[in-house]
Amino acid sequence: MSTTNFALFGAKPAFDKPLPIGQLYFPSWQRYEAAFHGIFERQYYNNNGPLHNKLEEKLQQFLGVQHAICVSNATIGLMMVADAMGLSGKVILPAFTFIASAQSLTWAGLKPVFCDINLATHQIALDQISGLIDKDVSAIMGVNLWGGSCNPKELSKLAAANGVQLYFDSAHAFGCTVDGVSIGNFGDAEVFSFHATKILSATEGGCICTNDENLAERLRSIRPSYGTDNPVSIVRVANARMSEAQAAIALMSLEDFPENQKNNETLYRYYETQLDTIPGLHLVRPTGVSFSNYQYVVCSVDEREFGIPRDLLIEILKAENVVARRYFYPGLHRTIPYVNDLSYYQDRLLNTDSLCASCIQLPIGALVTAQSVERICNILIQAHQSSAEISSRYEK
């Protein structure tokens, strides 16, 4: 293929409009209308409304967890958990995650301690955690990335052996299981994101899961700015309420979860067969789970094998209207809030730095079709085959 066929060099883009990353679930207009009709009839928008309460019940059944506490987004859910668990000092978490994981700690007055990751799985490097634990560390925050898990069972042993608490940022892991047990049941608490780009969407939203009665009461007391009828002793309250409108959409999304998961898995398998034939593109498998939501398609680009650097590949895809991204970038230790400690981390987070320079996320989700994936894979194949020509033409 000649470079003249690429939109980057002036050809017509492969897609007429941008194909977004993320799940972006939109049920039929009739279903929206029916759900919102009920809200209007009841004239009840917020504050432990019937749809909100139904959603919590359904989530508890679906996940087999005692308490599912819906919140307005996962970021505030993580902040609440850190506070409700009474954490102090430092918390260990991977450097390769979304900024919200670390910012929830900063908001709670805690210091994040960044751990490196395993390059094959992208999950926290279990063998490096013990070396980071000192007397000031009160907890480990595991992050279950990309529809896989960070091995909650091993992390539980590690936390218990070191006398620290354990909880999870499971923003990416709704519906995933580990040896048949739903994520949501591990550690002291787990937090899911129901953002529009996640497989379970409330447009914005999230949910804290716990099997600890006392912790659940504390969280329920923190969630509304006015406390609850039966408040437990807490120092700070927040406003993390989920509205009826959010709950209505989340209920439809939960009902359609099996279909959306299946669509994702089909698309993922297609990517898998195609990407495995392209030298230098290494697709990450959702490891450590017995069932995955296949919420993300993420691979690393080996520039020497593929022939094109990651960032140029993103430009090529962008020109074709494929919204590919370099998630997560940069590693959290290089972000403004934490950059003062960079000299400490300089040589300790080598896998994180390497992955941040090579990672690319491709479109998957309810708005993506098999034909779109086929077209994206063709662009990737052709980009590899024309890599020398593209590189020399791009440099000019």
Q: Is residue 191 within 8 Å of residue 171, measured between CB atoms?
A: yes
**Which of 7, 8, 14, 21 touches ligand T4K by CB under 6 A?**
21
Alpha-carbon distance 139 to 85, whole Å?
9
State in angstroms the smallest separation of the CB of 99 from ligand T4K.
Answer: 8
> Is 224 strand, coil or helix?
coil
Of the pair 123, 138, the CB lying nearest ligand T4K is at 123
Of the pair 238, 323, the CB lying nearest ligand T4K is at 323
Of the pair 101, 210, the CB lying nearest ligand T4K is at 101
State in angstroms the smallest separation of the CB of 244 from ligand T4K.
Answer: 18
Alpha-carbon distance 124 to 47, whole Å?
37
Which window, 92-100, 157-165, 277-285, 387-395, contacts ligand T4K (CB under 6 A)?
92-100
Q: What is the chain's length?
A: 396
State in angstroms the smallest separation of the CB of 80 from ligand T4K.
Answer: 12
**Which of 1, 9, 20, 302 touches ligand T4K by CB under 6 A?**
20
**Which of 52, 68, 70, 73 touches ligand T4K by CB under 6 A?**
73
- Which of 147, 144, 205, 201 has its CA nearest to residue 169? 144
Of the pair 124, 390, the CB lying nearest ligand T4K is at 124
Beta strands 165-169 and 190-193, pairing class: parallel
Which window, 195-203, 236-244, 278-286, 297-305, contacts ligand T4K (CB under 6 A)?
195-203
Of the pair 28, 343, the CB lying nearest ligand T4K is at 28
Alpha-carbon distance 322 to 67, whole Å?
39
Q: Is residue 72 within 8 Å of residue 240, measured between CB atoms?
A: yes
Of the pair 84, 278, the CB lying nearest ligand T4K is at 84
**Which of 69, 82, 92, 143 touches ligand T4K by CB under 6 A?**
143
* Binding letters toward ligand T4K, positions 158-187, x by CB under 6 A: -----------x-xx---------------
Interaction residues for ligand T4K, span 320-359 (CB under 6 A): 323
* Binding letters toward ligand T4K, positions 97-136, x by CB under 6 A: xx-xx-----------------------------------
State in angstroms the smallest separation of the CB of 73 from ligand T4K.
Answer: 4
State in angstroms the smallest separation of the CB of 170 from ligand T4K.
Answer: 8
Of the pair 307, 331, the CB lying nearest ligand T4K is at 331
56 binds ligand T4K per the rule CB under 6 A: no
Q: Which amino acid is at 319?
A: A
Of the pair 26, 44, the CB lying nearest ligand T4K is at 26
State in angstroms the smallest separation of the CB of 268 from ligand T4K.
Answer: 18
**Which of 59, 69, 70, 74 touches ligand T4K by CB under 6 A?**
74
Judged by CB under 6 A, the number of residues near ligand T4K is 21
Proportion of the chain in helix, strand, coil states, percent, rounded to 5: 45, 15, 40
Q: Is residue 188 within 8 Å of residue 167, measured between CB atoms?
A: yes
Q: Is residue 238 within 8 Å of residue 107, measured between CB atoms?
A: no
Query: Which residues fall within 8 angstroms of residue 291, CB to CB, at 6 or more apart?
Result: 175, 176, 177
Q: Is residue 244 within 8 Å of residue 51, measured between CB atoms?
A: yes
Beta strands 137-143 and 165-169, pairing class: parallel
- Which of 172, 155, 19 has its CA nearest to residue 101? 172
Interaction residues for ligand T4K, span 196-235 (CB under 6 A): 196-197, 206
Of the pair 254, 390, the CB lying nearest ligand T4K is at 254
Determine which helix (DSSP H) or strand (DSSP E) holds 108, and give its type and residue range: none
Phi/psi for 142 (5° steps) reads -80, 145
Alpha-carbon distance 179 to 174, whole Å?
15
HSE-CB for 306 with a 13 A CA cutoff: 23
State in angstroms the smallest separation of the CB of 190 from ligand T4K.
Answer: 11
Among all chains, which residue has been given the structure tokens 């949501």? 184
Q: Is residue 289 within 8 Å of residue 93, measured between CB atoms?
A: no
The residues that touch ligand T4K, with contacts defined as CB under 6 A, are 20-22, 24, 73-75, 97-98, 100-101, 143, 169, 171-172, 193, 195-197, 206, 323
